[in-house]
Amino acid sequence: MKHRIYPLDRIAIIMMAALTFLIGLIIMGGDHTVPIVRDFNWQEKRVGMEDAAFILSFNRPMDWPKVEENLTLTPELPGKLSWSGRRLAYTLTEPMPYGTEFKVQLSQVAEVGLSPNAQPKVMQPFSGTFRSRDRAYVYIGVNGEESGRLILQNLTQDQKTILTPADLVVTEFKPYPYGDRILFAATAKRLVSEGEFNPKLYTVTTGLQANPPDLNNSSQKPPGEIEEILDNQKYQILKFDLAADGSRIVVQRALKEGTGLGQVSLWQLPTGKSIQLLEKVEGGNFLIAPDSQSLVIAQGQGLAILPLEGSENDQPLEFLPKFGMVLSFARDGSAATMLKFNPDFTKSLFLVTTQGQQTELLKTSGSILRATFDPKKQLLYCLLTQVSPGEEYIEILYLATIDLATQAETRLLNLTNQRDTNMALAPDGSALLFDQAIEASPDNPEIAQTNQDGSVTTSNLWILLLDSSEPQPSSVGSGIDPKWLP
């Protein structure tokens, strides 16, 4: 009995035969594809200081010494190469300058030969681009329509934007880690005019382009979009801190009425969750640690480190009885600056590492107001005071650096005697911002408030470029509490 071949079977047989013939030709003729860069993880992205390395992925193993020899970055960006399999990593060894476009190019490099008789193929030329984030900072305005409002100054784009509405008076703020949003405390202007400060917590978008890893990409939103985060109906908000990764807020609040009136408590507000009381946690000044999972808080005669995850958050992970206040952390969390209040009424600035090392950097009869790590963890930028000789107690304010290796102090700039001065170091370490507020007279109060709750009539903002051997400050307008965006 004959088997009948149907038309569809005939077509399938013909196609199989054709494919077999083509595969045979490819095998006989060899591999004609060339090496290429299949993926560049920074392509057309905005990157910041948290981006430590870029990766080039190839479609086949390459001659890595030749890759290292021929890879170029324009402008130059110091780094070191490493590779594994078909992936090349370029790890930065210097801070990336902000507000800069970079080009990555690679050509004239061959693959690793698979056999002694085969001629290695030369790669297809590659060219990629990426940008560092804009150089931008935010401050609280003090004059005219800017008074009490958050102002964004984008130096890269030479553009100023008022972020918050005129009916809110901002008293404190902290940028989110990608610079796309800002967390701030503000009170209704009508209440401020009546002498009442009772802030709520809000967020506002900056409109800056960033590449946050979350799907809710607020960097695509226009500037000035406000969202209320925490109300003030039952509790008065006294102080808050934002985790380094933006995952949670810790708030110090006081009960406004009823039993326990004025009682102060600590709460945490994780992203996407309801606010949670940190039970049995009492203390004063606090900061969220760089791991975003623990809290450093002044308790009794020392500093306690408390976990923010888990049910036993009242049990310290560590207690440092020697210190009374934490000033700042290194970005990677490997070190912190802490204050020790000495029995002779002097103060000492210590460098404390995660390995347990405690190094006294400075001892002074004056004040230690600010201390910030530079991006390479080689210097501390400090805001200090020196007590002048004489019968009258006068503190002279100045900016200085402390070399963390030698403990040598270098004075950068003497300032007018205004203790309520704020200082901020650019994320790439290129410049310092600071303000110089002038307190209002009792008969001429203004809306804008300093961090010590004193009103100001005006305040000068200054920038100090640090790429000069003798840096000199330049005036950049009026405002208080300047902060660089990450």
pLDDT at 312 over 90: no
pLDDT at residue 26 is higher than 80: no
Interior angle at CA 176, CA 170 and CA 435, nearest 5? 50
Three-state SS for 254-267 is: EECCCCCCCCEEEE
Q: Among 123-127, 133-137, 196-200, 207-211, whose mean pLDDT is lowest?
A: 207-211
What percent of the chain is predicted at pLDDT more than 90?
Answer: 69
Q: What is the tens place of the pLDDT at every residue in 379-432?
A: 999 999 998 887 788 889 999 999 999 999 999 999 976 667 999 999 999 999
Q: How confident is the model at residue 196 (pLDDT cuts 50, 70, 90)?
A: confident
Task: Summarize pLDDT for 241-268 with one digit per residue, the tens.
Answer: 999 999 999 999 999 987 778 899 999 9
- Phi–psi pair at 16, nearest 5 degrees: -60, -40
* 126 Cβ contact list (under 8 Å, min separation 6): 36, 37, 40, 56, 104, 105, 106, 107
- SS3 category, 190: helix
What is the Rg, in whole angstroms, of the alpha carbon atoms belonging to the chain?
Answer: 29
